[in-house]
Structure 1
């Protein structure tokens, strides 16, 4: 309770970051509900739509480290507000699309660019600035948890509106949510008023540049392995958010079930983020990441090995939700502890670039496998096998590497 009361001065910043993250991630995770009606209406294939999602994830991944590197120069607020506007613009373009090109520009380029400034990497970097080192893990878990609730709002809202009217009206409901992101980003950006973190210095006392800090990170074995394992995280999660609605539709399930499943993921995601935010302050973060990847993969095998039912789908969503964004406070917290806060947003962005390459693979690969084989069997089998491998390698860092001392200010 004392830790929570100590957070009161930072609440406006933390609430702004949580609302911004909740809405951006919630809508992004819920875009899959539009796949069946949108592809039928526009006369495009599932793999065509996944091109847009793949472009989104590539744009997000490529721009994320650039946005992080710009923070020390221009501050958070301009980046966050611009990102919220781009997200809003992308939804407007998607709602007005009559063919694949505008779907790619809207759902792909614009939303991807918007996520680079409003997604988890930037929200986590904002959240640790106004709190003490002792509060970081708790705060990362709290904000990530609150940021998980957006899917509980976006998916059911979009599905209900879509069923009563049209998929375009469903995207309009998302546009309304995106408008709320603008003031949330503005409040989160007030973190710029606080003193900036101390710049890291080399052993000779010279202030280190972004390139020097990046070079240090790329020579750090645990960082490199964590970033590479992050690929699997993106591949598994985006495969589900993009293709689970289509898989359930293929199995003859009620379309509302996919919205309920995505909402269930969001709800248990909040619990998982809280748990792993707490656990990251008490246990080895690298080990926890390894266990998450392995447990996710085993859950994929259990669910897709049998025909889905409404009950097993919701249980699957609950378990995957608990393991969903728990990686975010662990990765963000480990980077802050190891390299400090000055270039934290950039280094999170570098690791997240690997995550987004995985997201590209999960979205595009899943669509390609479906179009080729007319089922998702090979896709989930590859996702599970790679996930177990990444989890074991991640656990290996705990055994074979001692925690590095960067010498950078925390």
Structure 2
């Protein structure tokens, strides 16, 4: 048990973390725009760039628990500073490296570490510790909305940068923006001073073991795998899918991804708000079932710009709305002392799903010339995730109830 003192205000934390998340997630969501120009410039197939994106997502997840441990132990500020530098180096690496293996591995390490230190897992701990318990779910929803705002704002910016100054120079500009804007915000994320109560204290290993032996935690892990598979496959491969289907105007894909970000602002906010009123497990299940239905309807409907926009808006409302609910369950069941680490463990599963989704999309397209099989897998996984979240137990553990 612990008590936080001298904490920064919740408003300050939400603004600073919001800027960090806006950049971290906004830049990352636009990586699909580089698939075709990089592949054409280097003479690669789509599978090579897809593998690089898959490696970034996998290493983002692999670094996540350790970034969370570092944030819980040494403070969010230090972790975000490391992440900003690594993110910038990754963008420069993607602009300059032409050897496929080095491109995949280097961008995977730098971007993966950068995202692990600047995205949800790293900042969730300080948000959970600063926010009062009755406002925690809403605070997570606001932080999720900030990342969605980044996607909405950054999509057209990235596309315009590529068109105006070329794909390499666009990476350089984004790298400078990440470094110059994230670093000042990191200093507003100083961790509150923690005064430990007397008595036995739970260690990091004990906290991880407790969570991994909990059935509800494992259900969250499984559900997040599906979330990652669906989101990154769509985010990276949707522009190419639309072009393959005859929608050649690049503005359609740009607007579609921007609409995902726009509607996700509202989806994340209201998911967090509703999570404070209703059982989070039922809301999570509804989101996964709805995703499966939206994808199925998109594939069945005639493909035209209007249907793409409707699909993007519907998916946007469901896009990151799982994040405040999942983090809210973790904080409510296990407490906030090791919030960043536990969120990082769950998020690793998300990133394994992301790795498989983005890589499988490129691999099956190269093998079959179509994305149909991957779309079908995304629908089936959505139904599975909807079912697996229903039996989650949201009650705090006995040690927290006793405290």
- Asked if 1:216 is matched to 2:210, the reply is yes
**Which residue number corresponds to residue 23 of structure 1?**
23
1 CA distance for matches of 2:357 and 2:251? 23
CA contact (8 A) 1:20 1:184 kept: no
The answer to whether residue 294 in structure 2 is matched with residue 299 in structure 1 is yes
Using the TM superposition, give the Cα deviation of residue 22 of structure 1 relative to its aligned residue in structure 2, in angstroms: 1.1
Residue 400 (structure 2) pairs with residue 408 (structure 1): yes
CA RMSD of aligned residues (A): 2.0
213-222 or 172-181: bigger deviation: 172-181
Q: Does 1:233 align with 2:234?
A: no
The 8 Å contact of residues 155 and 259 in structure 1, kept in 2 or not, is answered as yes
TM-score by length of structure 2 reads 0.93
Residue 329 (1) aligns with residue 324 (2): yes
What does 1:11-410 correspond to in 2, within 5 Å?
Answer: 11-190=11-190, 192=191, 194-196=192-194, 198=196, 205-253=199-247, 254-395=249-390, 397=391, 401=393, 403=395, 405-408=397-400
What SS is found at the alignment partner of 1:98? coil
Contact 2:333 2:394 in 1 (8 A): no
- Which residue pairs with 2:3 in the alignment? none
Q: Are the equivalent residues in 2 in contact too, given 1:93–1:102 (CA < 8 A)?
A: no
Post-superposition offset of 1:312: 0.9
Q: TM-score, normalised by structure 1?
A: 0.91
Q: CA deviation at 1:197?
A: 6.9
Q: Secondary structure at the match of 1:104?
A: helix
- 1:134 Cα deviation (Å)? 1.6
Distance between the aligned counterparts of 2:37 and 2:177, measured in 1? Answer: 21
Distance 1:249 1:171 in 2: 23
* Count of residue correspondences: 395
Structure 2: tracts of 5 or more residues without a match? 1-6
SS of residue in 1 equivalent to 2:399:
coil
Work out whether residues 335 and 344 of structure 1, in 8 Å CA contact, stay in contact via their aligned partners in 2.
yes
| Contact 1:12/1:187 (<8 A) preserved | no
